[in-house]
Chain A
Amino acid sequence: DAGVIQSPRHEVTEMGQEVTLRCKPISGHDYLFWYRQTMMRGLELLIYFNNNVPIDDSGMPEDRFSAKMPNASFSTLKIQPSEPRDSAVYFCASSPGDRYEQYFGPGTRLTVT
């Protein structure tokens, strides 16, 4: 299995631009999670899906952030408009079910200038 796939691996953009991060979970995993990691705040859960349905988006910082999961093999996290404080590493993770370990993708390092 290829594991969780994320793209792009690095993204540098200017403030105000739209950013779209992509994730392909491990086949057969019912749960998909989006996290953000910074030195100051550590690893924070943004949103997670179960069977393509958003379950908890309370971690999404504000309306500039949105996430979709149109099918079991693809999810996107969009930031519009982006701001310098959004600079972080964004991880996608998937899990085969409740109370199972999560498998993380390699992350997308986002820099907003």
Chain B
Amino acid sequence: GQNIDQPTEMTATEGAIVQINCTYQTSGFNGLFWYQQHAGEAPTFLSYNVLDGLEEKGRFSSFLSRSKGYSYLLLKELQMKDSASYLCAVAPNTAAGTALIFGKGTTLSVSS
């Protein structure tokens, strides 16, 4: 079956660094996405990994290990506005079409 696991909640303080982990088990792998979702809003795209390694984009970085079925999202220099839910999503199909499977999300609370 298809399964994506990530912690339900995390807390951190402003200026700190936080790592949100995601493990997955899917039939086939066509890439892993991270989305950010503020309360009451739509998910917005953060990053995409299809090859092993680290992708850096400003304060956010995403890592992938396909052999371990593992990814993490690293947030540096945390700000209050980073308080949100972070969704890990995997594209399992190798055929055309991107039907993402989403984890249930990690709610990050950043305090001052």
Contacts and interface: CB of A to CB of B under 8 A. Distances in A.
Interface of A: 31, 33, 41-45, 48, 50, 55-56, 91, 95, 98-107
Query: How many residues of B sit at the interface, in one of the four size bands?
Result: 20 to 34
Interface in B53-73: none
Main secondary structure, interface of A, reads strand
B101 interface: yes
A107 B42 contact: yes
Contacts, number: 56
A54 B48 CA distance: 25
A60 to B, nearest CB: 13
A105 to B, nearest CB: 6
A82 to B, nearest CB: 22
B84 interface: no
Interface of B: 30-31, 33, 41-45, 48, 50, 87, 91, 96-105
Given A50-B97, A55-B97, A98-B97, A42 B103 contact: yes
Contacts of B42: 91, 104-107
A103 B105 CA distance: 17
20 contacts: A31-B98, A42-B87, A42-B105, A43-B43, A45-B100, A45-B102, A50-B97, A55-B99, A91-B43, A98-B30, A98-B96, A99-B30, A99-B50, A101-B48, A102-B45, A104-B42, A105-B42, A106-B41, A106-B42, A107-B42
